[in-house]
């Protein structure tokens, strides 16, 4: 199984949402550089405890895949991104954070059933 680059956030994100990001930390600059030369995807999970900047956080084991749909390099490893959140996943194992957070994940598809509507 290929490790998935991960981006922990202090906010929960759901499939179908837009995610604008400003990247400046060296570890995430490396991650985005790798994503831009690959499939442009990374996982997004909620930080259960701790902070976004600097590491040392506790992370949720459920997230959604983000796809980079627009990017601008601002030089010096800084990026502006617009991402779209897609399929859900579950983390099966967190890996070493070097050079950036990574995890083994498995898809967590929606269960069949009647969709919930606004009138519900």
Locate 108 and state its tokens.
């967590």
Locate 45 and state its tokens.
């999970």
- Give the phi and the psi of residue 29 in degrees, each rounded to 5: -60, -45
pLDDT reported for residue 53: 57
- The helix or strand, by DSSP H or E, that contains position 96, with its residue range, turns out to be none
Q: Are 109 and 79 in contact (CB under 8 A)?
A: no
- The helix or strand, by DSSP H or E, that contains position 79, with its residue range, turns out to be strand 78-94
pLDDT reported for residue 54: 59
Q: Are 23 and 35 in contact (CB under 8 A)?
A: no
pLDDT reported for residue 112: 83
**CA 95 to centroid of chain Cα atoms:** 15
Locate 60 and state its tokens.
């949720």
**pLDDT tens track, the chain, 120 positions:** 789 999 999 888 889 999 999 999 999 999 999 999 999 999 999 988 766 655 667 899 999 999 999 999 999 999 999 999 999 999 999 999 999 999 999 999 888 888 777 776
CA distance 13 to 32: 19
Locate 117 and state its tokens.
């509507």
Q: Give the predicted TM-score (pTM) of the model.
A: 0.85
């Amino acid at each position: 199984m290929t490790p998935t680059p991960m981006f922990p956030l202090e906010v929960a994100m759901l499939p179908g949402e837009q995610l604008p990001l400003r990247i400046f930390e060296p570890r995430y600059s490396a991650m985005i550089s790798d994503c831009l030369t690959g499939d442009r995807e990374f996982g997004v999970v909620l930080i259960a405890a701790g902070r976004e900047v600097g590491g040392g956080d506790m992370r949720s084991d459920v997230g959604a895949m983000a796809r980079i749909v627009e990017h601008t390099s601002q030089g010096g490893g800084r990026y502006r991104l617009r991402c779209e959140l897609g399929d859900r996943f579950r983390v099966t194992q967190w890996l070493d954070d070097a050079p950036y957070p990574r995890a083994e994940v498995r898809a967590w598809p929606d269960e069949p059933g009647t969709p919930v509507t606004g009138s519900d």
